[in-house]
Structures are given as C-alpha cells and as structure tokens.
Chain A
Amino acid sequence: MKREFTCIVCPRGCRLVIDDDLNVTGNSCPRGKEYAISEVTHPVRTITSSVRVINREDIVVSVKTSLPVPKDMIFRVMDEINKIGVQAPCHIGQVIKKNVLDLGVDILITKNID
C-alpha cells in the first residue's frame, strides 16, 4: 500500500509517496526521504511552546524540545512543559527540564530575557 503526505521539513512542502518497502518518491532532497520513512515508522515532532517567567509580570518565555518527540506523546509533553516556571534572566539554549518523561529529550529556552 502506498501512503501519500506533505513533507514538513522545509517550506517547499513536497508531496511524498512511500510504499511498504519504504521506497520514497516525490522528495527533492535527502531530508525528505528521511522524513517520509520516519513518518510511517516512527512519526515525531519538535514541540515549541512557552513557560511562565515567575519574576516578571505579564511575560512568558518561549521553549522547545531539544529533539523531536513521538507524535503520540505531544500532549503529555505539553502537560510537563506547563508545569515549569523559570526565573529571569534566562537565555537561549538554557535547559529548564532534563529528559522529560524519560524520552531522552530536554526542554530548552529559545529566547533571551534580561
């Protein structure tokens, strides 16, 4: 059986086709092939969100997962992210939670707040 879906690796959005033997067509780059195989075997997404800044009023700071997480874990990871509060100042790349849900993925800050 063939599966067809849109590549999300870059803004180009190629239409990928993959068959049961993991032969990929429609991709314009190697990353597209990699994505297609991952999407049918083990779909993952990077999550971007925000967390509270405890010592600032009316401000949240943006965060992301250090690696993509399994798609079916997205909402559970969001629950974990929503428990976090950080102190300013904080900076890009700062780890605010290590190995979330034992997925081997950290939560990193993506914005500098003085």
Chain B
Amino acid sequence: METIDLLVIGGGSAGMAAAIQAKKEGIDRILILEKNEVLGGILNQCIHNGFGLTEFKEELTGPEYLSRFVQQVEDLKIPYKLNTLVTDISLDKVVTFTNASDGITHLQAKAIIMATGCYERGAGAIQIPGDRCAGIITAGTAQKYLNIHGYLCGKRIVILGSGDIGLIMARRLTLEGAKVICVSEIMPYSNGLNRNIAQCLDDYHIPLYLSRSVSQVIGKQRLEKVVLSAVDEKMKFIPGTEMEIECDTLILSVGLIPYLSLLNNIGCPISSTKGPLVNEHLETKIEGIFSCGNCLHVHDVVDFVTDEGRLAGHGAALYLQQLLPHDADIPVVAGEGISYVLPQSIKSDNREDVVLKFRVRKPIQDIYIIVENSGVLLSKTFKPVLIPSEMAMIKIKKEQMANLHDQVTVRLEKR
C-alpha cells in the first residue's frame, strides 16, 4: 500500500487552498482526490461575479477565481486525481478510493484534510405536501443545468428560499428568458446577502415574500401550480392566506448541509453546524484529520473558504512536522445571541492568533461582540448591524491567549 504525507479529499476552493499551503510549508507528498471531472468544485457553475474582493482585491467570476488556484496547483506540481471517489477512510487514515483507471485502491495517509463541501437540502428534507410531479429541483441543480450544460429548467418559476443561490438563480433565469414570479421565504428575513436581494431581485422587480412558504404543490405529470401560505411565529401555515400561483417549476434554495458521510463512518464528533468539531488549527477530534470549507460550516463568501483552506493546510503541515500544539482543549462557547462559533476549542499551548467565526441567531443592531475567558475580557467590538446570513469574524491575538483556562465565550451585548 502506497503511503503519502497528506491526502486532501475534495479539489474545490478549500481543498486547493489547503494543498497549496501545505506544499508551501514544505510538505511534499500530497495528493488531491476530486470526484468531478475538473478541479474547482461548485465555483465551476457560479458564473456570476463578486468573487475575490478580499483575496485578489478585484471582482472575478467563479471560474476566473478558481482558475487562479488551479494554476497554482499546476505550478507547484501538486498531484491530483479527477473523477475519483473516496469511499472510505479509517481511523488509522487508510483511505479507499475508486476511479476508472486505478480501480479500487487503498492508500495510507499520514494526515487527511476533509474539503468535501456541502450538498443541498432537497424536496424530501422539507416535506412539501402535494403531488409528486416533475419540475421541482434544487437551485444548484438548476444552476448546473443552465451554466454548465445550457438547459433552462422551466419558463414560469417560483423560488422557495432566499438563500444566495436562489437569489442568484432568480436573476440568471430571468436573463435567460424565464419568468421568475416570486421568491418565497419562510423566515421573516432573507437568508441571502443584502446585495443579492438588491442586484438579483430589486433590479428585475421580482417580489420577495417573507414569512411565506409553499403549502402545496399541484401537478399531474409536470408541476402546474404551487400554493403559498403565510406562516405564524411557529412556522405553521395560517389558513385563509393561500395564494395560488401557476408555474411549471419550483426551485428550492432551502439550505446546505456539510457533506460528511466519510467522517460519520468513523464516529467523528459533529457540532451544531453539522460539521465536525475542530480546534484552532481545524483539526477534528480525530488526530491528524482536518476539515475546512463548506464541509466544516457553510460559508457565504468564497474568499473566506480559501482562507480557511490555508489554515487547515497550515495545521496539517504543523501536524506532519510534529509542531502542532497538543495540550488541553479550552472550549469555545456560543453565548447570548450567537448561533454557533468556530473553532469549538483552542489548545492551551496555542501560539498563534485565532480568528473566531460565528453567526448571530437573528438580525440585530447596535451591538457589542464580547469575547471573554472566564470573566476576563479578550475583545469587545462594536457592530452597527449583524445578520445571520453574514459570517462575522473576530481576531484574538496570540498574546491575549497566553493564559487561557476554563472556557472562552463569545456573546452579544446591547449597547
């Protein structure tokens, strides 16, 4: 069985950044395994622009952004295999993968970086009542049909869920001649970025209905109608609020879930983000296995995925060089108003700055973000506005973490 230093599972934005970073830090025997026919992951179908403002200080489309990393992978001569599916990893890091030329192959890795991305919640996950007709697809699938293969998924379209992919697709389908009748969101606020509501919906006069969801789908073979109903605070449909809309397609943009079956199989502990629990170097609870990108937590901006990939690549390099901090875990806890915070722990002997990433539970204004370690203030930052769809970040300097004990808490405090 062949042995390598670092195996990166997934050749998207996170995986490529991780591999590039590890290579730059002196790790030689790296392999990237990618299940699709090209590197780049989901960015291949994100042909809209707005990527790279942090990373490159310019506005790029998804394919342009990813091509810069593919170029680095090629320049650094990092090996990768395409059309390759990893079917199993074991606790001692024996990896099983398969593709058409190698067949079923086992490989011993010294470290593994999971960069497998996420998948979309589909119709089954949200249990829409009504007929089981054709014409109900996820936003990512509609995007792939249109932007990779050139097929329009329908002509009269209702979009359920106001996540960014749904908003982006509303504009894209409109440009290609479809009529997007409305976007319906079950929450009282949108889950997408404000800029996408402005440039994807407002620009094209597409209405966004809040606190409204699909209560029924109707169609014999192809979808014919959807019924939208208002929901109360408990997300229950309110009788008498039904709106019937004739349409041939319902697009779902109702959430993303980290793709983690490989880690689940080896009992890796999972957090409330549905990603694995990690420490400040993005090492999971299983020694030598790291995680980054959308399989760790779902991101809204790819530049931050790239950054997180580099952090995992750095962590794996330290691990392979036996330089990774290994003392006690100090838990990092989401306090008042915070839905989750990453990393979930910091090693007490950590000697590097740590960026805490978190999301708020609901939109909130005039707020202090407080980071404290057992009553001792580490950081206090004012924010005029925080929204759940935008990941917030607070950097804690290494000097401030010299004496970490008990636990670190991130919480909100009204000004």
Contacts and interface: CB of A to CB of B under 8 A. Distances in A.
Contacts of A50: 47, 146-147, 150
Interface string A68-84: 00010011001000000
Nearest to A74: B175
A88 interface: no
21 contacts: A6-B202, A8-B195, A11-B50, A11-B300, A11-B390, A13-B195, A15-B194, A48-B47, A48-B61, A49-B175, A60-B148, A60-B149, A60-B150, A62-B47, A62-B62, A62-B147, A71-B203, A74-B175, A111-B44, A111-B47, A111-B64
Interface string A23-53: 0000000000000000000000111111010
A7 interface: yes
A66 to B, nearest CB: 12
B374 interface: no
A46 B202 CA distance: 16
Contacts of B197: 6
Nearest to A93: B64
Contact of B149 (A10, A13, A46, A59): A59
B150 A13 contact: no
Interface of A: 5-13, 15, 45-50, 52, 58-60, 62, 64, 71, 74-75, 78, 92, 110-112
Nearest to B147: A50
Interface string B368-399: 00000000000000000000001000000000
A104 B233 CA distance: 52
B64 A92 contact: yes
B219 interface: no
Given A49-B175, A59-B150, A8 B198 contact: yes
Contact of B53 (A10, A13, A49, A92): A10
Nearest to A75: B175
Interface of B: 44, 47-50, 53, 59, 61-64, 67, 146-150, 175-176, 193-195, 197-199, 202-203, 300-301, 390
A52 B147 CA distance: 10
A8 B67 contact: no
A92 B199 CA distance: 25
Given A6-B198, A60-B147, A74-B175, A11 B193 contact: yes
Given A60-B150, A64-B61, A110-B64, A48 B48 contact: yes
B53 A11 contact: yes
Contacts of A59: 148-150
Nearest to B199: A8
**Most chain-A CB neighbours within 10 Å: which of B47, B48, B59, B301?**
B47
Contacts of B150: 50, 52, 58-60
A93 to B, nearest CB: 9
Given A8-B195, A11-B390, A112-B63, 20 more contacts: A5-B198, A6-B197, A6-B202, A7-B195, A7-B198, A10-B53, A12-B390, A48-B48, A48-B49, A48-B61, A59-B148, A59-B150, A62-B61, A62-B62, A92-B64, A110-B47, A110-B61, A111-B63, A111-B67, A112-B67
B142 to A, nearest CB: 14
Give the 10 A-B residue pairs with the shortest CB-CB distance, closest first.
A13-B194, A62-B47, A111-B63, A60-B150, A6-B198, A13-B195, A8-B195, A110-B61, A8-B199, A6-B194
Nearest to B65: A110
A45 B199 contact: yes
Contacts of A46: 49, 59
Contacts of A48: 47-49, 61
A24 to B, nearest CB: 16
Nearest to B385: A15
A15 B198 CA distance: 11
Contacts of A12: 195, 390
A8 B49 CA distance: 11
**Most chain-B CB neighbours within 10 Å: which of A6, A71, A75, A78?**
A6
A47 B193 CA distance: 19
A12 B304 CA distance: 13
Nearest to A49: B175
